[in-house]
Amino acid sequence: MSSMQSNSSANVTFVRPATFFISGFFNIPLAKYYYVFLALVYVVTVLGNSFIMCVIYLARRLHTAKYIAVFHLAVSDLCGSSALIPKVIDTFLFEHQDILYEACLANMFFVSHFMNLQSLTLLVLAYDRLVAICFPLRYHAIVTKPAMFLIIGMMWILSVTFFSVLVGSVNRLSFCRSNVIDTYYCDFAPIYRLACNDNSVHILMGKFCFGLLMCMPPILIIMSYFCIALALLKIAYGADRIKAMKTCTSHLMLVAIFYLPILSNNIASIITPLHPNARTINNSLTQTIPPMLNPIIYTLKTEEVMQSIKELYKRSRVHATMAKNMKCSGRN
């Protein structure tokens, strides 16, 4: 342990460990196979999100405000998984469970920040569907590319500011008991529970963070779909109603996959104490599976994306045929 004097006038000494020890699973002999599984999940996540980003970039028909948000979701998924999974694999598969204090805070910031961006982007996509269905004639005037870039920029500013303050508040804690983090990465709650000085402010900040960033977006999304349902009831023709509902299918699936496991885990932990191993598996799957599934769902369930993929494939075939013909004519 190394001590650092802060606020000498108040004679307060903050004790910071040089490193934290991330415990991970408790007494599971074949735990390494789970981390190999996470490595495979990460490979699929990188390939899937890179693919959907390339399709959106190359297909001109997808250069719209809505697909700016979808592109941002893919970026958030890719960066969030990259902040979490490679470090988890290095920590447990290669037995580097000691992590520097500063590196731990950096890990906490990036994982929390990108997970928050995933949540907020799903809220933005719900706003897009709300305007498209409830105000179809004004959609292109309201949901514009500049407006979407502005919304995403504000999301980044708010998220970076909030989590900078949250992570920075850890420096106000004194760790004089233990440096063992009872989880699989540098999460905020398990760290502030290790403090031996007053952490009541950090408990409040943790609850505020969960309520504002993980409970408020799904509530707003549910409200938006309630308004969408009312608008759909006013559509006279059933075919038009079904067509409008199909545009929401992929987004609803993403919302369910992202929020239901998170909220279920937290509700279950309140009702009955979870075993540390069960909590580790539940939380890690909650954070790693949605980013892997998001691009697959958008590819298979969105007609515009599928059509764009087909057009890009046909275009590549034409270019390949032309190049082959030119090569053959050059030989002749």
Residue 38's identity, in one-letter code, is L
pLDDT digits (tens, 9 = 90+) for 108-120: 999 999 999 999 9
The predicted structure's pLDDT at residue 185: 93
Single-letter code of the amino acid located at 80: G
Residues 296-332 pLDDT 10s = 988 878 888 888 888 888 888 877 777 766 767 666 5
Q: What is the pLDDT of residue 93?
A: 87
Query: Most distant CA pair in the chain: distance in Å?
Result: 89
pLDDT tens string 30-76:
788 899 999 999 999 999 999 999 999 999 999 999 999 999 999 99
Residues 144-199: tens digit of each pLDDT: 999 999 999 999 999 999 999 999 999 989 988 789 998 899 999 899 989 888 88
Tell me: the pLDDT tens digits for 69-112?
A: 999 999 999 999 999 999 999 999 888 899 999 999 999 999 99
Question: What are the helix (H) ranges across 135-178?
Answer: 139-142, 145-168
Residue whose pair of structure tokens reads 């691009």 in the numeric block: 295
Question: Looking at the chain, how many residues does it have?
Answer: 332
Confidence of residue 9 (pLDDT cuts 50, 70, 90): very low
The two beta strands, 98-100 and 13-16, are unpaired
Residue predicted with more confidence, 251 or 235? 251
Q: What is the pLDDT, as a whole number, of residue 329?
A: 67
Q: In this structure, are residues 136 and 59 in contact, taking their beta carbons and an 8 Å threshold?
A: no
CA distance linking residue 152 with residue 163, whole number of Å: 16
Give residue 330's pLDDT. 62
CA gap 62, 47 in Å, rounded: 19
Q: What's the CATH number for 17-301?
A: 1.20.1070.10
Residue 10 confidence (pLDDT): 44
Mean pLDDT for all residues in the chain: 87
φ, ψ of residue 21 to 5 degrees: the values are -115, 120
Query: CA of 135: how far to CAs of 19, 91, 105, 251, in Å?
Result: 54, 50, 44, 18
Q: What is the pLDDT of residue 279?
A: 82
Q: Give the pLDDT confidence score for residue 322 in this predicted structure.
A: 72
Q: How many CB atoms lie within 10 A of CB 19?
A: 14
pLDDT at site 274 = 75
Nearest to 123 by CA among 224, 54, 33: 224
Cα 116 from Cα 139, distance rounded (Å) = 26
Residue 6: predicted pLDDT: 42
pLDDT for residue 72: 96
When pLDDT is averaged across residues 211-232 and rounded to a whole number, the result is: 90
Where does the pLDDT of residue 28 fall: very low under 50, low under 70, confident under 90, or very high at 90 and above?
confident
